Amino acid sequence: MSELRFPEGFRWGAATAAYQIEGAARDDGRGPSIWDTFSRTPGRVFQGHTGDVACDHYHRYADDVALMAELGLHTYRFSVAWPRIQPDGTGPVNPRGLDFYDRLTDALLARGIDPIVTLYHWDLPQTLQDRGGWTARETAEHFATYATAVHARLGDRVGTWTTLNEPWCSAYLGYGNGVHAPGERDAGSAFTAVHHLLLGHGLAARALRAAGAETVGITLNPADVCPADPDSAADAAAARLVDGLQNRIFLDPLLRAAYPDDVLEHVGRMVDPATFVRDGDEKLIAAPIDLLGINFYQPTYVAGRPGGAGSDAYPGTDGAVEFLPATGPLTDMGWMIEPAGLTRLLERIATDYPGVPLLVTENGAAFPDKAGSDPVGEVQDTDRVAYLDGHLRAAHQAIARGVDLRGYLVWSLLDNFEWAEGYRKRFGIVHVDYLTQRRTLKSSARWYQEVISRNGL
Ligand code: PNW
């Protein structure tokens, strides 16, 4: 296959999230988060798995940073656990919680790895949930206070800050269909949460900027929404609706300072937006950003059908939309493998929302360990190599077509706690044996190391 080079300065890295890898759920004054509560509630997570121990990264971070250095990562995206910093979500900071991220940051910098901090990857302090969580407006304000506290400690060494990871998941899976913490099921709550998450982002982004943060952004999981039949007007309308619910409801207020009218109208069938959107909010949400993080896993195909089943992850789509089942080769999540979706998505965002540099903050795949592969030697994950190779070619194609894509972060560095799926889904390029906490590079890690060193494929 022909050689493919990425632009000079392209940033190669990997991503993780606090609750998925840290463990140490009760160490050093950490308070409980909604994911502790959720995972300890029977029936919520596969086989009752929790993040209590996870990859024990809290105690093994130095070894994990050494692994990153071995792979040649330029950058590492990790999240800060809010309940380590403010155990109750408000009030005085817990210095021992900040100490951990201080040590981690220093370890990364000592190896020449540039940290990217995500301030919120879903682990809301339980105390704030008890006061309404993201359905309560005050949570947005508390989030900005927390962001300021983390920046005060790490801002002299961390240049790149993202506020939220995938607010779509927090709102729709957390408050809409209950698949994620806090497990609520109410369309009105989901839309209220969308707004307060965005408001929290805007307030935090502005506070970070005022404190001198170099690069401020947010990470979304926008969908590449495709009509089942490109010639069908009904399918196009369905695609437009889903695009509104997953993409424009976030991108428009963030980058155009206004919710789209068609989205407000759809939301209004379930809850009156005037009950949570106040004058001036959209302007606050549109605080300037320097970077937009894109997480991409698979495309979404929809058809417009009266009586269609819809999806409980997209409130109000029942009776109107049919989500097509994934086809072709699937990952262990049952997700489709269609790299062209990444090219389409990046081009679409660059076209419709020009002027913001993009970063792929997550892309990767879960595959089971193969029978016959030898975790003590190396896990032969050729399926993951093929997935990553295809998506890097797709990213390269977007760059060739003019998209300002600054880098690519693989999800994930380590096998980890895959939310409602527990530990049974493995996304890592590094294998984790949860009995011994032994890390073993998979062949995808060796392959990625080579990609980074050549800056291409
Ligand atoms: C993202 N969906 O989650 C998260 O940012 C990661 O923490 C997670 O491990 C990774 O992707 C893999 O799942 C998602 O239902 C969870 O569409 C669910 C969905 C999308 C992303």
Residue 188 pLDDT class (50, 70, 90 cuts) = very high
What is the reported pLDDT for 377?
Answer: 63
Residue 378 pLDDT class (50, 70, 90 cuts) = confident
Q: Which fold has domain 11-454?
A: TIM Barrel (3.20.20)
Among candidate residues 22, 184, 282, 362, the one labeled active-site is 362
Residue 374 pLDDT class (50, 70, 90 cuts) = low
How far, in Å, from the CA of 385 to the mean position of ligand 1? 19
What is the reported pLDDT for 2?
Answer: 60
* Amino acid symbol at 113: I
Instruction: Convert the pLDDT of each residue in 436-445 to its tens digit.
Output: 999 999 999 9
With a cut of 80, say whether residue 244 has pLDDT above it: yes
* Amino acid symbol at 353: Y
Residue with tokens 């896993």: 297
Q: Is the CB–ligand 1 distance for residue 444 below 6 Å?
A: no
Q: Quick one: which atom of ligand 1 is closest to the CA of 313?
A: 15
Q: Could you give the CA distance from residue 404 to residue 421 in angstroms, rounded to a whole number? A: 34
- Give yes or no for a contact between 395 and 360, defined as CB atoms under 8 angstroms apart: yes
Instruction: Convert the pLDDT of each residue in 125-170 to its tens digit.
Output: 999 999 999 999 999 999 999 999 999 999 999 999 999 999 999 9
With a cut of 70, say whether residue 372 has pLDDT above it: no
How far, in Å, from the CA of 2 to the mean position of ligand 1? 32
The DSSP H or E segment spanning 431 is strand 430-433
What is the reported pLDDT for 376?
Answer: 63
How far, in Å, from the CA of 33 to the mean position of ligand 1? 18
The residue whose C-alpha atom lies closest to atom 14 belonging to ligand 1 is 169
Give the residue ranges of the annotated binding site for substrate. Answer: 20, 121, 165, 297, 411, 418-419
How far, in Å, from the CA of 246 to the mean position of ligand 1? 14
Catalytic residue at 378?
Answer: no
> Before 412, cis peptide (omega within 30)?
yes
What is the reported pLDDT for 164?
Answer: 99
Tokens representing 311 are 């999806």
Tokens representing 64 are 């994990």
ipTM of the complex: 0.91
What is the reported pLDDT for 135?
Answer: 99
Instruction: Convert the pLDDT of each residue in 262-315 to its tens digit.
Output: 999 999 999 999 999 999 999 999 999 999 999 999 999 999 999 999 999 999
Average pLDDT of the residues in 2-24: 96
Average pLDDT of the residues in 64-83: 99
Q: Could you give the CA distance from residue 216 to residue 291 in angstroms, rounded to a whole number? A: 6
**Overall residue count recorded for the chain in this entry:** 457
Instruction: Convert the pLDDT of each residue in 391-404 to its tens digit.
Output: 999 999 999 999 99
Residue 371 pLDDT class (50, 70, 90 cuts) = low
Query: Closest by alpha carbon to 366, among 10, 12, 20, 8?
Result: 20
The DSSP H or E segment spanning 323 is strand 321-323
With a cut of 80, say whether residue 375 has pLDDT above it: no
Q: Could you give the CA distance from residue 180 to residue 172 in angstroms, rounded to a whole number? A: 9
Q: Is the pTM of this model over 0.80?
A: yes
Instruction: Convert the pLDDT of each residue in 38-59 to its tens digit.
Output: 999 999 999 999 999 999 999 9
Per-domain residue ranges for the chain? Answer: 11-454
Q: What are the backbone dihedrals phi and psi of residue 441, each rounded to the nearest 5 degrees, phi first?
A: -65, 130
Q: Is the CB–ligand 1 distance for residue 418 below 6 Å?
A: yes
Tokens representing 269 are 């069938």
Residue 413 pLDDT class (50, 70, 90 cuts) = very high
With a cut of 90, say whether residue 123 has pLDDT above it: yes
What is the reported pLDDT for 80?
Answer: 99
The residue whose C-alpha atom lies closest to atom 8 belonging to ligand 1 is 418
The helix-helix angle for 443-454 and 57-71 (nearest 10°) equals: 50
The residue whose C-alpha atom lies closest to atom 18 belonging to ligand 1 is 169
How far, in Å, from the CA of 143 to the mean position of ligand 1? 22
What rounded mean pLDDT belongs to the chain? 97
With a cut of 80, say whether residue 198 has pLDDT above it: yes
Query: Closest by alpha carbon to 404, among 92, 11, 21, 68?
Result: 11
The preferred substitution site among 165, 295, 410 for testing ligand 1, maximizing ligand atoms within 8 Å of CB, is 295
Average pLDDT of the residues in 203-225: 98
Residue 205 pLDDT class (50, 70, 90 cuts) = very high
Q: Is the CB–ligand 1 distance for residue 164 below 6 Å?
A: no
